[in-house]
Structure 1
């Protein structure tokens, strides 16, 4: 049996998970990117980031994760080690089954499954937060002017 055979939705988690990633979309992603450029080197060295399309994902310890207006948080689900979910939401189907189905479909791991906007984001290309990496992200977004 696979999660493909079930209609599922999201429900609020009874207890939010401890954040291990900051997730931002659109304008919030650009604000998060700008915030990363202002971090002290020692804090930035403890973070990893990846960007895809209109999303920026930054992973690290909760105390190190930056905040900007519009950012949300994610964490690895203990029942599916290769699956990251929003800290405040969970699927209505068994998470281990959903994780296996997504891994088979996307052939990459780990994966971030996001509620709004609905998306699956591969996290296998997380790199340390450096000025060079942030420049590559800005260039990818077509916003190289964002870095002075």
Structure 2
């Protein structure tokens, strides 16, 4: 199950609406081993596509290095689907390289629902999981939105 703060969900949705009709993408980092998403990092979709996303390789390298230096890992990897249901495409599954991450898909076409959905993707297998949205974390950790 993905447990996530409402402000992070709101930020992902706002980014997806702003980038529509291009698929949006990004990462939410958290402390290694915590499974607690804390720091939202919007990423550039260098594909500039309405049907798939691709992280900017230089930006991704920088983000992953920063996470490593801070003792973080990618808790959530997110992107939007602009014209299809919020379910991982074959391309999404093929490029899913973080088996411990939650893969969140944000629908931006109301015909396909308005709820975010989260999946675990490992070894080509997709498993949908529940999403629990909280108004606050009781851990004392601070949220951060990175521009």
Task: Give TM-score, length-normalised by structure 1.
Answer: 0.30
Larger radius of gyration: 1
Q: Taking structure 2 as the reference length, what is the TM-score of the superposition?
A: 0.30
Structure ranking higher in helix proportion = 1
